[in-house]
Amino acid sequence: MKLYCPSKFICLCISIILIATINTKAKAPARDYYQLKIYHYKTQEQETRLEQYLQQAYIPAIHRAGIKQVGIFKPVTQQDTDRRIYVFTPFSSLDKLAGIEQLLQADTKYLADGRDYIDADYKNAPYTRIESIILQAFPGMPSTAVPNLTAAKADRVYELRSYESPTEKYNINKVRMFNVGDEIGLFKRLNFNAVFYSEVISGSHMPNLMYMTTFNSKADRDKHWETFGNDTQWKTLTAKDEYKNNVSHADIMFLHPTEYSDF
């Protein structure tokens, strides 16, 4: 069957629009993958060795590998029996994340600069354990952002949140709330200075999502959340039946960036 086209110009325009639509979908930005490493340790000596390794060996090596920003954070309040350092590294693909260890092992400068940490004796380890969480960025924010803050790093408060859901289906629903429901847009409009939003694809608290927002101070953080809670868009969003009961547990961690952190 031969289609009749009253105007070659109209047909051409329709073809251009269809091709543009297809190309737009094809060129949707790829979503980054993130690794959040949590070093658990007990002593000041371990902390000193960890920070020396991270600042002098790990971050420079990651930069040489083509990754521009690495985040190093400490809890605002450390626990005496379980002290922590959080290391956040973004990757443009899962393959690059999976291959980073092999790349580091081939970097002779990294091996030399990190010798004290890398070659630590089993009786004098620089940490008690490492926890590693793998995440994928949300479509609504497919890559990281360096926060636009004015306070000194020592005064800033970075809020890392983990939302667990009762089932995988509810977790998909909560992720949808951020992206389709535009909870990300709400945070952006209210200047929460997010570093990332992501879904956990491998971790010890699943199903869940994690995100990080940043503030010049704790008072600044509290003021932002008060505004958020009173916002009409948020009240409308949470009132929708489709988004009910999609969070079963929430963990909130207040962190400071170290002076040598890129974020």
pLDDT tens digits, 45-71? 999 999 999 999 999 999 999 999 999
Residue 27 is predicted with a pLDDT of: 67
Question: Average pLDDT for residues 116-123, to the nearest whole number?
Answer: 97
Query: Would you list the domain boundaries of the chain?
Result: 33-257
3-state secondary structure of 147: coil
Instruction: Give the amino acid at 33.
Output: Y
Query: What's the rounded Cα separation, in Å, for the pair 237 and 251?
Result: 21
Q: Taking 60 as the threshold, does the pLDDT of residue 6 lie above it?
A: no
Res. 16 pLDDT band, cuts 50 70 90: very low
Cβ pair 76, 86 in contact under 8 A: no
Asked whether residue 124 carries a pLDDT value surpassing 70, the answer given is yes
At 14 the pLDDT is 43
Phi, psi of 132 (to 5 degrees): -125, 125
- pLDDT (average), residues 181-199: 98
Q: At the topology level of CATH, where does 33-257 sit?
A: Alpha-Beta Plaits (3.30.70)
Between these two residues, 72 and 1, which has the higher pLDDT value? 72
Mean predicted lDDT score pLDDT of the chain: 92
pLDDT-above-90 percentage for the chain: 88
Query: Angle 157-162-165 (CA atoms, 0-180°, nearest 5)?
Result: 155
Q: What is the pLDDT of residue 126?
A: 97
Token couple for 4: 């009749």
How far is it, in rounded angstroms, from Cα 49 to Cα 232? Answer: 48
